[in-house]
A and B are shown apart, each in its own frame.
Chain A
């Protein structure tokens, strides 16, 4: 009974439909079900919103156009004219994370992005892309990233490990930031929800606090998706111009 109501209980993964192929567990879990739901809702939303193509956009259409424009401007500002090729990637990432975060706020649903392995998989994909792109564009000169020009050679044994650690930490910092923000917010809401039950009639105070927290969480859900998109652009722009 007490375990069921623990604040961390919302993050447990259950198998809904057991599946095994060649010893690898590919069961349908509540996490993967949520991801499928996010993809379906996202596609339905974008297709339905842009179906009318009216010159004066309605509510849904202007939502779709606003998100498109915002990410388009971000990619253009951070990546310059090279950014157009990567706009579909950044936009897909942004919308997927945004919908995961937002749909996770609905009670009884599941927040996919609160698991570090999900965010790490996304971040590691970007890290691989940026690294491969850097080597394709600059060849071995991309290694200059670890030892900037004009640095005296006797500093190299100190600076190179520092730069390597800082380069490897990029996907970790991307993943941890998103997952920690989502997990912390949801845990806090659940803890205060426990206070509402425990305090009886005085539970109105933590209840009002939860309402305010939900507003904050909605902002954070949006902001973290945006941060993820912007930092994707920043890391990709590093592989275009490694000198900076």
Chain B
């Protein structure tokens, strides 16, 4: 009777111990994961924001120039689309900066 109880107690404490160990392991793995990801996670976003700023202006300008070429309205559409490209560059980089801040 008492022997059975002892065995049960031991088994219980063993289970508790393994649970604790699992918890500690899970925490450690999570910590390592977040640390690893933090190392380089800022760079891509920084490069993204900078290149978006001027890529939008290039695209806006080239759309305007092409439309001008086809409709023979030089240089009205070029100016309009350059401005749109500029606005869109700032808007996009603002959006991706906001996304990154989350």
Contacts and interface: CB of A to CB of B under 8 A. Distances in A.
Interface of A: 73, 77, 161-163, 165-166, 168-170, 172-174, 176-177, 223-224, 226-227, 230-231, 234, 244
A227 B59 contact: no
B37 A169 contact: no
Contact of B44 (A73, A162, A166, A226): A226
Contact of B59 (A73, A169, A230): A169
A224 B59 CA distance: 22
Interface of B: 33, 36-37, 40, 43-44, 47-48, 50-52, 54-56, 58-60, 63, 81, 84-85, 87-89, 91-92, 99
A230 B52 contact: no
Contacts of A170: 55
A173 B43 contact: no
Contacts of A224: 47
A173 B54 CA distance: 8
Nearest to A229: B44
A162 B88 CA distance: 5
Given A172-B59, A176-B55, A165 B84 contact: yes
Nearest to B45: A230
Given A73-B36, A163-B88, A169 B58 contact: yes
9 contacts: A73-B33, A165-B63, A165-B85, A165-B88, A166-B52, A169-B59, A173-B56, A176-B55, A224-B47
Contacts of A169: 52, 55-56, 58-59, 85, 88-89, 92
Contact of A77 (B37, B87, B88): B37
Contacts of A230: 44
A168 B59 CA distance: 7
B84 A162 contact: yes
A177 B88 contact: no
A163 B92 CA distance: 8
B98 to A, nearest CB: 11
Contacts of B99: 244
A172 B55 CA distance: 6
B58 A172 contact: yes
A163 B55 CA distance: 13
Contact of B88 (A166, A174, A244): A166
B60 to A, nearest CB: 5
Contacts of A176: 51, 54-55, 58
A174 B50 CA distance: 11
A81 to B, nearest CB: 16
A173 B44 contact: no
A170 B88 CA distance: 12
B55 A223 contact: no
A172 to B, nearest CB: 4
Contacts of B87: 162
Contacts of B37: 73, 77
A168 B84 CA distance: 13
A161 B52 contact: no
B92 A231 contact: no
